């Protein structure tokens, strides 16, 4: 598909196959280097905020790159966007279904007693030592035009902070996570002022939902191959970190005990699973916690093909060499 395009412009922060096929590459900030809105699997929209400013000035938030391209192309509306709030209002105007996202958090101009909110707790007062090897003078904190936060420990501290803008939990006399209790209506309850986020999709059926208890029958295979997610290895950003790579599991295929008996598979034996047009040979993991009729394949591991579409029907075969993959 990309080969048919005269120009391919990619906004990303990692090198990947799409980047290699691009004519123009714009270095975009990661989630920790940008502000934005995320919508989770229950349709709840929440605002997330930049943790730190990128060291290199060539890295910008994706929406800022889009604005710059729009301005260069003569888009007068984009030229009026000065901060995240302007972008959000432009987004809402273009997509009315997202109307509520402008209300999920206070705007960038929000202040309490004329003060911004601190990003860091008071223990961040030792930050001068972080840069002592570069300069004994404390650098000026970065200005943030896109949020009500400051890039420092200075700012308003109190109990009137909106729940969407609570940057850390700390209360005098409370230790560790127990300080969360001071921010809740009751232990384990909602935060003062309500939990952050707004649901964009509300179910019309308010009855208790029913859940599937049986695995759907596979229409074209022995098993239903599904992705298994791991804390270490399945996240597309951290998987490139050496410390995370040391904790990643080896690739495997997990099947139910009854299925193992049916196919005559032993723990650790090499089995070949055909998923779509691909065949992958992996050691078997047998578990009573895996649903019958399911074959679990770790998601995102570098040792596995990165273009397996799951879930889908699969055939299981015995034998083969571990790690072998064919198209």
Q: Are residues 139 and 285 in the same domain?
A: no
State both tokens at 183. 């921010």
Q: Are residues 22 and 159 in the same domain?
A: yes
Question: In the chain, at which residue ranges do the beta strands (DSSP E only) sit?
Answer: 9-12, 24-27, 36-39, 44-48, 117-118, 149-150, 198-199, 223-228, 253-256, 270-275, 278-287, 294-298, 312-318, 325-326
Answer for the pair 321, 269: CB distance below 8 angstroms, yes or no.
no
Domain that holds residue 300: 223-326
Residues 6+ apart with CB under 8 A from 3: 21
User: Residue 214 domain-assigned?
Assistant: no
d(CA 271, CA 279): 10
Q: Are residues 8 and 150 in the same domain?
A: yes
d(CA 124, CA 69): 38
pLDDT by residue, tens only, the chain of 327 residues: 888 999 999 999 988 888 999 999 999 999 899 999 999 988 899 999 999 888 888 999 999 999 999 999 999 999 999 999 999 999 999 999 999 999 999 999 999 999 999 998 887 777 777 778 888 887 788 899 999 999 988 899 877 889 899 888 877 777 667 788 888 888 888 888 888 999 998 777 666 555 555 555 555 568 999 999 999 999 888 888 899 999 999 999 999 999 999 999 999 999 999 988 889 999 999 999 999 999 999 998 988 887 788 888 898 886 655 444 444
d(CA 49, CA 83): 13
Measured CA angle at 54 (ends 69, 33), to 5 deg: 75
Place of tokens 């596979």: 218
User: Residue 216 domain-assigned?
Assistant: no
Distance of CA 35 to the CA centre of its chain: 13
d(CA 47, CA 316): 44
User: Residue 218 domain-assigned?
Assistant: no
What per-residue confidence (pLDDT) applies to 210? 59
Number of domains in the chain: 2
Q: CATH no. for residue 291? A: 2.40.40.20
Q: Are residues 198 and 134 in the same domain?
A: yes
Q: Are residues 289 and 182 in the same domain?
A: no
User: Residue 144 domain-assigned?
Assistant: yes
d(CA 219, CA 231): 31
272-292: string of b/e by CB count within 10 Å (b at 16+)?
bbbbeebbbbbebbbeeebee
State both tokens at 305. 């093909």
DSSP 151: S
Q: Are residues 123 and 268 in the same domain?
A: no
Burial class (CB in 10 A: 0-12, 13-18, 19+), 110: middle
What's phi and psi for 283, nearest 5 deg?
Answer: -70, 145
Q: Are residues 251 and 124 in the same domain?
A: no
Q: Are residues 186 and 314 in the same domain?
A: no
Answer for the pair 217, 117: CB distance below 8 angstroms, yes or no.
no
User: Residue 6 domain-assigned?
Assistant: yes
How many CA atoms does the CB half-sphere of 156 hold within 13 Å? Answer: 17
Give the SS3 label for residue 238.
helix
Answer for the pair 75, 65: CB distance below 8 angstroms, yes or no.
no
State both tokens at 61. 């938030």
């Amino acid at each position: 598909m990309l080969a048919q395009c005269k120009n391919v412009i990619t906004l990303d922060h990692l090198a990947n196959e799409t980047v290699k096929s691009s004519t123009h590459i714009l270095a975009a900030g990661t989630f920790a280097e940008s502000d934005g809105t995320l919508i989770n699997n229950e349709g709840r929209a929440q605002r997330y905020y930049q943790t730190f400013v990128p060291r290199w000035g060539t890295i910008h938030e994706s929406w800022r790159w889009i604005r710059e391209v729009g301005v260069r192309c003569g888009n007068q509306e984009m030229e009026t966007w000065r901060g995240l709030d302007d972008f959000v209002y432009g987004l809402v105007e273009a997509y009315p279904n997202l109307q509520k996202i402008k209300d999920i958090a206070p705007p960038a101009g929000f202040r309490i007693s004329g003060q911004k909110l601190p990003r860091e707790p008071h223990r961040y007062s030792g930050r001068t030592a972080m840069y002592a090897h570069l300069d004994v003078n404390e650098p000026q904190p970065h200005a943030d035009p896109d949020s009500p936060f400051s890039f420092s420990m200075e700012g308003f501290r109190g109990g009137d902070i909106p729940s969407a803008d609570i940057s850390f939990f700390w209360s005098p006399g409370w230790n560790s996570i127990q300080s969360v209790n001071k921010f809740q209506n009751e232990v384990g309850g909602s935060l003062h002022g309500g939990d952050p986020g707004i649901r964009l999709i509300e179910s019309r059926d308010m009855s208790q939902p029913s859940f599937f208890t049986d695995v759907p029958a596979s229409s074209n295979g022995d098993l239903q191959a599904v992705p298994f997610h791991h804390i270490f290895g399945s996240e597309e950003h951290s998987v490139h970190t050496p410390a995370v790579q040391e904790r990643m599991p080896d690739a495997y295929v997990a099947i139910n005990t009854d299925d193992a008996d049916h196919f005559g598979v032993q723990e650790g034996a090499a089995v070949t699973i055909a998923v779509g047009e691909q065949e992958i040979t992996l050691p078997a993991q047998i578990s009573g916690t895996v649903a019958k009729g399911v074959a679990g394949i770790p998601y995102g591991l570098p040792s596995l093909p990165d273009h397996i579409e799951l879930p889908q029907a699969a055939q299981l075969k015995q034998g083969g060499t571990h790690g072998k993959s064919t198209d």
